[in-house]
Amino acid sequence: MCYSNKDRLIVRGGKKLKGEIKVQTSKNATLPIMSASLLADGKVYLKDCPDIIDVENMVKILAKLGADIKQIGDDYLIDSSKIMDACLDYELCKTMRSSIFLLGSILARFKSICLTFPGGCKIGKRPIDIHIQAFRRLNVKVTELDDFVFFNATKARAGKIRLKLPSVGATENIVQFASTLKGKTIIYNSAREPEVVDLCNFLNKMGAKIYGAGTKKITIIGVEKLKGVEYKPITDRIVLGTLLVATAICGGIIRLIDGNYDQNKKLIEILSLMGCQINIKNDIITLSRDIPLRSIPKIRTGYYPQFPTDLQSIILVLSCVAKGRTKIDEKIFENRFLIVNELKKMGAKIDLIDNHTAIVNGVDNLKASNLKAFDLRGGASLVLAGLVAQGETIIDNVHYIDRGYCHIEKMLKSLGADIERI
């Protein structure tokens, strides 16, 4: 990845999408797995990692810690045996929310860590209080300062944790930490996302004893050490969803390789109701749309297996060009509607009731405009709006999109979109 923060995307709308594409590996699975590689007593070989800014930054953070990392094409060989302490690069950590995943693995290995509050997209409050409460339940001493939080696990012990929310980050941190903590740790109300399951599968392959991943109760039996392994993280269900919605918006037909119906069931149900034809065969998902889109009355985000918040802005754009009225309730973050004013520039009819609810009345066409991305998923949504708009749309702040999408312009261009990066 060698893009600049000053890059822009130019999108000329009106082209139907057609073709076959392999879905990239999941950002939200790869990052915590990279973190968990610090626990290995041996080398970890991660296959087919996505070429995105967040992975690039995680590699930099691990290298700054002292890990020996070799990139072989899209694969990474990680040897963390020479890391001597847990001195994190705070400036790098501020660039991405996913640096929080390092908490569990570093604390397990070095027994203490001073963590800056992580950065990332400005989509609303993303407090780490759930993490702090969970670690305190395991007798970890936590000291909160203005900009930093200090964790000391020298007296940590296994125990039972009940999360007030099924937080993905907190679940993944505790799973990493407890993997080598003597005794039995149980997480109640644990996150059930596929990325959590993938992390647990990775740790189990390393020799961990984790049971119940994908359910509301995860049990971890601590082991003395974990071994190095070779592993390929799961494909990215959010990128897959973005491509499905892009084809729904533009019309045409697309075949997605390495798709997973179960992980994308809610979205596929919605797209079918809106007029798309979808066929599932093994790991191939085919979507076509050649009739006008029709809206559905209500879409509500929630924790997995409900409709994902990461696809909310994507489905918002689709609703903008569907016939009828849709109410969208965002139940996870309070700033997921940052793109509404940008879409209104394009002629979209959206009324914000509050930070969590939008009413969308579909229009026949969107018109091109100059737009700015404010976050990762919202930025990708603006690209989709540009694909269907009349004229030439210019999108700034593309670096947000590059955090999670591997060369989005090449991906869409291979399907027939008229898009370029300048």
CATH of the domain at 145: 3.65.10.10
Residue 3 within any structural domain of the chain: no
Q: What is the mean pLDDT of residues 38-43?
A: 97
Q: What is the mean pLDDT of residues 250-258?
A: 97
Picking from 174, 207, 231, the residue at the C-terminal end of a domain is 231
Picking from 231, 250, 278, the residue at the C-terminal end of a domain is 231
Half-sphere exposure in the Cβ direction for 265 (13 Å, CA):
7
C-alpha to C-alpha distance for 156 and 152, rounded to whole angstroms: 8
**Are the C-beta atoms of 22 and 284 separated by less than 8 Å?**
no
**Are the C-beta atoms of 67 and 38 separated by less than 8 Å?**
yes
Amino acid occupying residue 127 = P
- Is 121 one of the annotated active-site residues of the chain? yes
**Which residue among 93, 121, 320, 406 is the active-site one?**
121
* pLDDT the model gives residue 97: 59
**Are the C-beta atoms of 209 and 221 separated by less than 8 Å?**
yes
Picking from 178, 210, 231, the residue at the C-terminal end of a domain is 231
* pLDDT the model gives residue 120: 44
User: Whole-model pTM?
Assistant: 0.95
The answer, yes or no, to whether residue 88 has pLDDT greater than 80, is: no
| Same domain membership, residue 401 and residue 268 | yes
* Closest alpha carbon to 220 in 155, 171, 168: 171
The answer, yes or no, to whether residue 95 has pLDDT greater than 90, is: no
Residue 146 within any structural domain of the chain: yes
The answer, yes or no, to whether residue 92 has pLDDT greater than 90, is: no
Q: What is the mean pLDDT of residues 359-384?
A: 97
* pLDDT the model gives residue 122: 46
Residue 4 within any structural domain of the chain: no
Residue 184 dihedral angles phi and psi, to the nearest 5°: -105, 125
Cα dihedral sign, 341-318-214-222: negative
The answer, yes or no, to whether residue 126 has pLDDT greater than 50, is: no
Q: Binning pLDDT at 50, 70 and 90, where does residue 144 land?
A: confident
Q: Which domain holds residue 395?
A: 9-23+235-421
Phi-psi region of 348 (alpha: psi -120 to 50; beta: other; left: phi over 0): beta
| Same domain membership, residue 255 and residue 179 | no
* pLDDT the model gives residue 94: 67
| Same domain membership, residue 175 and residue 283 | no
Top pLDDT among 148 and 349 is at: 349
Cβ neighbours around 301 below 10 Å, total: 21
Residue 381 within any structural domain of the chain: yes
Residue 144 within any structural domain of the chain: yes
CB crowding 34-72: b at 16 or more within 10 Å, else e: bbbbbbbeebbbbebbbbbbbbbbbbebbeebebebeee
| Same domain membership, residue 14 and residue 43 | no
* Closest alpha carbon to 320 in 415, 248, 237: 248
Strand order in the sheet with 298-300: 298-300, 325-329, 357-361, 349-354
| Same domain membership, residue 273 and residue 223 | no
Q: Across the chain, what does the average pLDDT equal?
A: 93
| Same domain membership, residue 264 and residue 210 | no
Residue 331 within any structural domain of the chain: yes
C-alpha to C-alpha distance for 417 and 80, rounded to whole angstroms: 42
| Same domain membership, residue 352 and residue 220 | no
| Same domain membership, residue 150 and residue 42 | yes
| Same domain membership, residue 205 and residue 242 | no
* pLDDT the model gives residue 277: 98
Burial (CB count <10 Å: 0-12, 13-18, 19+), residue 282: exposed
Asked which of 110-124, 326-340, 358-372 is least confident by mean pLDDT, the reply is: 110-124
In the chain, the number of structural domains is 2
Q: How far is CA 275 from the centre of its chain?
A: 27
Q: What is the mean pLDDT of residues 101-124?
A: 77
Phi-psi region of 14 (alpha: psi -120 to 50; beta: other; left: phi over 0): left
Percent of the chain having pLDDT more than 70?
A: 94
| Same domain membership, residue 383 and residue 342 | yes
* Closest alpha carbon to 307 in 277, 338, 343, 336: 336
Percent of the chain having pLDDT more than 90?
A: 86
Residue 2 within any structural domain of the chain: no
Q: What is the mean pLDDT of residues 293-303?
A: 97
What confidence tens digit (pLDDT) does each residue in 232-252 have? 999 999 999 999 999 999 999
| Same domain membership, residue 246 and residue 227 | no
C-alpha to C-alpha distance for 274 and 279, rounded to whole angstroms: 15
Residue 1 within any structural domain of the chain: no
| Same domain membership, residue 83 and residue 178 | yes
* pLDDT the model gives residue 124: 40
**Are the C-beta atoms of 358 and 378 separated by less than 8 Å?**
no
